[in-house]
Amino acid sequence: MKKELPERFRNHRHVWVVVELERGEVHPVSWELLGEGRKLADRLGVELAGVVMGPPTEATRRAAGEAFCYGADLVYLAEHPVLAQYRTEAYARALTDICESYKPEILLLGATTLGRDLAGAVATTLLTGLTADCTELAVDQDGSLAATRPTFGGSLLCTIYTLNFRPQMATVRPRVFALPPRVEKPVGRIVLHTVQFAEEDIVTKVLDFVPDALTAKSQLAYADVVVAGGMGLQQQENFQLVKQLAATLGAEYGGSRPLVQKGWIPADRQIGQTGKTIRPRVYIAAGISGAIQHRVGVEGADLIVAINTDPNAPIYDFAHVGIVADAVQILPALTRAFTRRLSFNRLVG
Amino acid sequence: MHLVVCIKQVPDSAQIRVHPVTNTIMRQGVPTIINPYDLFALEQALRLRDEFGGKVTVMTMGPPMASDSLRRALGAGADAAVLLTDRFFAGSDTLATSFALSQAIRKIGESEPVDMVFCGKQTIDGDTAQVGPGIATRLGLQQLTYVAKVCEVDRQTRTITVERRAEGGVQVLRTTLPCLITMLEGTAPLRRGSLADMLRAARAEITTWSAKDAGIQDVTNCGLRGSPTVVKRVFAPQARAEKAAQIAVAGRSPDEIAEEVLGLILDRSPGLEDELHRRSAVA
Ligand SMILES: Cc1cc2nc3c(=O)[nH]c(=O)nc-3n(C[C@H](O)[C@H](O)[C@H](O)COP(=O)(O)OP(=O)(O)OC[C@H]3O[C@@H](n4cnc5c(N)ncnc54)[C@H](O)[C@@H]3O)c2cc1C
Ligand SMILES: Cc1cc2nc3c(=O)[nH]c(=O)nc-3n(C[C@H](O)[C@H](O)[C@H](O)COP(=O)(O)OP(=O)(O)OC[C@H]3O[C@@H](n4cnc5c(N)ncnc54)[C@H](O)[C@@H]3O)c2cc1C
């Protein structure tokens, strides 16, 4: 049974995903959301649309084309020089206008600095509900969006509804959902939206953009192997052992929150609820107890290997492989083992 | 310059426990603190006041005991404090919260126009980062979120330049006042107030406003009734069925253990070995 809505919301239909485009690049969270949005749209028997906003360039058109390859049935496209770089006012006005013209039922955005900034502004203008940082999205019997998110640092989950308002909005962190397979497809239906304002109307100006140095910037969220350390390493020097194993594996390294607080690792290498969510094929956690706030950031890993001296450490409740031993000894042994294996293969291969 | 800082009193989440049977949060006896991110916002506002003169007003919406947080902010040097408290505010989601706060800021601005509103990046309990954008949108203020640094304020042209954390880099933005800023963590920590500030804070009168005092005519925009989101279910995360498979360690050397773990990792991750091999060949 479909839920009865107030008259003014009855013609809100379809599932939309905002495709986050910055400096010509799409944030992968947008494709992850299209993958999840596809399931919701199929369940509701409606269409899945991507919303692409950007300057009139090749890259913007390419982003629209890619949206089809990741599952969109159609794309709403707003192209204008005023959208060349992200600014709240320009993007919020464009997105609000598109929503008011074409009335989505569900509107999803990545919980990135861009997505959270934009979603908060747009939900307020549309006077609708917005659920932050969801880890699960589902459609209920009556067709409502059930958005589940961790509360109190992950110790509990809650399911939030936006019952009587439309669109139902939600943000989702990168890597919470898996990247759907990309299927080569021709460009489908594009609905062009004309931007109704000009540069003079936008007060805030972007003076500069300073990209993070590529070497310093951690690629944690999208790494396929991650090695991390925790307080069990005892001393800062021992963190080298984590870095050495990571280097041998061509992996990214990270750590638990106390290591950031102690200044052993930079903040963008924190893994967990208030750090990065990761989804690697292999996650090696050395000297990490497995507190709930850490757990929620790593549960998407295919294989979790934990090294912890305490056989009752909570990390063994969700790791797949456990080694009850001193991480300070096991880490270098793993580095040696992988070095041997890889150089051996090079000799034969 | 008149700067309003929004602070939220939150439970010290490091000490929160969940009742094992009822799955409810056990708040009793849990100490409350000022949301840690808001301390950076307060410090930034105090610095601007010290530089340009003017006034810092701190404001919170919450139960009467939230006045503790305001008093602490006064002790750090804030000039005035407003507590927004009314049963009509109970159960507010972010839309209803930004409504109440923006109405109160409007009211505060009636006696002395507001140049900037400061918020934290997000809270540690609700953790949505939605209230700042909500207030900015409702008041038509320029919105600057995730600000890592306030570079320059020009009083003549009424412009402000900031560095904003964006995906993959830092945006340098210039906008005009009035504006709303949400401050990132890791900027300057909150100062300790002077003895004079502490003494003043202890005796200070905290302005307490009901919805009506804040100029809110229609309370249907507040609290549960003004909240489009509804929390339907609260539950514990499901435990994984089986525990980790433990590698035998007794009497074995780290290298023997590592050999077995390596085998396990490669067995369970098809294709990984080729990938590692490819990478090490490139490196
Ligand atoms: C609001 C909030 C948000 C948070 N967000 C995060 C977050 O995003 N990410 C995060 O990680 N944490 C977060 N935390 C902190 C979290 O609650 C834990 O305190 C933290 O994860 C613990 O870090 P740890 O496992 O490194 O240290 P500990 O809990 O101290 O664990 C150390 C572990 O090492 C083991 N050990 C000791 N010696 C050795 C040895 N020689 N070899 C091997 N093992 C050894 C011990 O048995 C122990 O299990 C948050 C907390 C709060 C309140
Ligand atoms: C576990 C949990 C989950 C929730 N999930 C959602 C959700 O998904 N969607 C939703 O709409 N609501 C949600 N809420 C309700 C929401 O937390 C409240 O509306 C709350 O009043 C403000 O939101 P926040 O804590 O997320 O603040 P944020 O938006 O994270 O706060 C940003 C800044 O706004 C200022 N601020 C926030 N609240 C106040 C205040 N009361 N007084 C003064 N300044 C303030 C502070 O400067 C703060 O740093 C949730 C609440 C809880 C407890």
Q: What CATH number does the domain containing A240 carry?
A: 3.40.50.1220
Does residue A286 sit within a domain?
yes
Question: Does the pLDDT of residue A63 top 90, yes or no?
Answer: yes
Cis amide leading into B178 (omega within 30): yes
Question: Does the pLDDT of residue B28 top 90, yes or no?
Answer: no
Q: Which of A95, A135, A156, A276 to mutate to test the interface with B (most CBs of B within 10 A)?
A: A156
In a shared domain, residues A249 and A290:
yes
Place of tokens 């809110």: B216
Identify all chain B residues contacting A112, using CB atoms and an 8 Å cutoff.
167
Question: What is the Cα–Cα distance from A292 to A295, expressed in whole angstroms?
Answer: 5
Short-list A326, A341, A332, CA closest to A240: A332
Which 8-state DSSP code applies to residue A254?
A: E
Identify all chain A residues contacting B158, using CB atoms and an 8 Å cutoff.
none
B249 touches chain A (CB under 8 A): yes
Is A238 close to ligand 1, i.e. is its CB under 6 Å away? no
Which pLDDT score, from 0 to 100, does residue B16 have? 67
Q: Which of B137, B142, B182, B235 to mutate to test the interface with A (most CBs of A within 10 A)?
A: B137
Place of tokens 């990741």: A70
Residue of higher predicted confidence among A314 and B13: A314
Which pLDDT score, from 0 to 100, does residue A347 have? 59
pLDDT interval class at B115 (50, 70, 90): very high
Q: Which of A145, A173, A201 is the last residue of a domain?
A: A201
Torsion sign over Cα B264, B268, B273, B279? negative
Residues A222-236: pLDDT tens digits? 899 999 999 999 999
Query: How does A308-335 read in b/e, with b if 16+ C-beta sit within 10 Å?
Result: beeeebbbbebbbbbbbbbbbbbbbbbb
Q: Which of A201, A231, A256 is the last residue of a domain?
A: A201
Question: What is the Cα–Cα distance from A341 to B130, expressed in whole angstroms?
Answer: 50
Alpha helices by DSSP H, chain A: 28-44, 58-69, 88-102, 113-126, 239-249, 257-261, 292-298, 327-348
Which pLDDT score, from 0 to 100, does residue A4 have? 82
B91 touches chain A (CB under 8 A): no
Range of the domain at A110: 10-201
Q: Are B96 and B86 in contact (CB under 8 A)?
A: no
> What is the layout of strands, in order, in the sheet containing A145-151?
A136-139, A145-151, A156-162, B229-235
Does residue A102 sit within a domain?
yes
Pairing of strands A205-211, A48-54: unpaired
Question: What is the Cα–Cα distance from B76 to B74, expressed in whole angstroms?
Answer: 5
In a shared domain, residues A255 and A308:
yes
Residues B240-258: pLDDT tens digits? 667 889 999 999 999 999 9
B244 touches chain A (CB under 8 A): yes
In a shared domain, residues A255 and A196:
no
In a shared domain, residues A249 and A182:
no
Question: What is the Cα–Cα distance from B220 to B222, expressed in whole angstroms?
Answer: 5
Q: Are B112 and B152 in contact (CB under 8 A)?
A: no
Mutation to probe ligand 1, out of A268, A292, A308 (largest number of atoms < 8 A from CB): A308
Atom in ligand 1 nearest the alpha carbon of residue B14: 53
In a shared domain, residues A190 and A235:
no
Does residue A5 sit within a domain?
no
Q: What CATH number has the domain bearing residue A52?
A: 3.40.50.620
Q: Which of B18, B93, B269 sits opposite A282 (nearest CB)?
A: B269
Q: Which of B138, B259, B269 sits opposite A303 (nearest CB)?
A: B269
Question: Does the pLDDT of residue A138 top 80, yes or no?
Answer: yes
Question: Does the pLDDT of residue B223 top 70, yes or no?
Answer: yes
Question: What is the Cα–Cα distance from A20 to B15, expressed in whole angstroms?
Answer: 37
Question: Does the pLDDT of residue A153 top 70, yes or no?
Answer: no
Cis amide leading into A167 (omega within 30): yes
Residue B185 Cα to ligand 2 midpoint, Å, equals: 17
Q: Which amino acid, residue A1? A: M
3-state secondary structure of A209: strand
In a shared domain, residues A51 and A160:
yes
Beta-carbon separation of A22 and B168 below 8 A: yes
How many C-beta atoms surround the C-beta of residue A290 within 10 A?
22
In a shared domain, residues A170 and A305:
no
Q: Which of B93, B133, B165 sits opposite A121 (nearest CB)?
A: B133
Place of tokens 């773990």: B261
Q: Which of A141, A167, A201 is the last residue of a domain?
A: A201
Does residue A329 sit within a domain?
yes
B165 touches chain A (CB under 8 A): yes
In a shared domain, residues A86 and A113:
yes
pLDDT interval class at A214 (50, 70, 90): low
Q: Where are the domains of chain B?
A: 2-221, 240-283
ipTM of this predicted structure: 0.90
Q: Which amino acid, residue A21? A: L
Mean pLDDT of A137-163: 89
Please identify among residues 173-192 of chain B the ones whose CB lies closer than 8 Å to any CB of chain A. Answer: 173-176, 186
Which pLDDT score, from 0 to 100, does residue B11 have? 87
- How many residues comprise chain B? 283
User: Measured between alpha carbons, how far is residue B8 from residues A12, A17, B32, B88 in Å?
Assistant: 35, 31, 10, 17
In a shared domain, residues A229 and A317:
yes
Q: Which of A5, A30, A88, A305 to mutate to test the interface with B (most CBs of B within 10 A)?
A: A88
- How many residues comprise chain A? 349
The total number of structural domains that make up chain A: 2
Classify domain B2-221 at the CATH class level: alpha beta
Identify all chain A residues contacting B227, using CB atoms and an 8 Å cutoff.
129
B230 touches chain A (CB under 8 A): yes
Tokens of A241: 């052992």
Does residue A16 sit within a domain?
yes
pLDDT interval class at A155 (50, 70, 90): confident
Tokens of B124: 């540690």
Does residue A35 sit within a domain?
yes
Quickly count helices (H) and strands (E) in chain B.
Answer: 7, 15
Which pLDDT score, from 0 to 100, does residue B125 have? 87
Tokens of A340: 């041997």
Residue of higher predicted confidence among B200 and A156: B200
In a shared domain, residues A20 and A101:
yes
B129 touches chain A (CB under 8 A): yes
B171 touches chain A (CB under 8 A): yes
pLDDT interval class at A108 (50, 70, 90): very high
Question: What is the Cα–Cα distance from A236 to B133, expressed in whole angstroms?
Answer: 39
Average pLDDT of chain B, as a whole number: 92
Question: What is the Cα–Cα distance from A210 to A212, expressed in whole angstroms?
Answer: 6
Tokens of B245: 């498979």
Residues A253-310: pLDDT tens digits? 999 999 999 999 998 899 998 889 999 999 999 999 999 889 989 988 999 999 999 9
Is A150 close to ligand 1, i.e. is its CB under 6 Å away? no
In a shared domain, residues A55 and A16:
yes
In a shared domain, residues A74 and A159:
yes
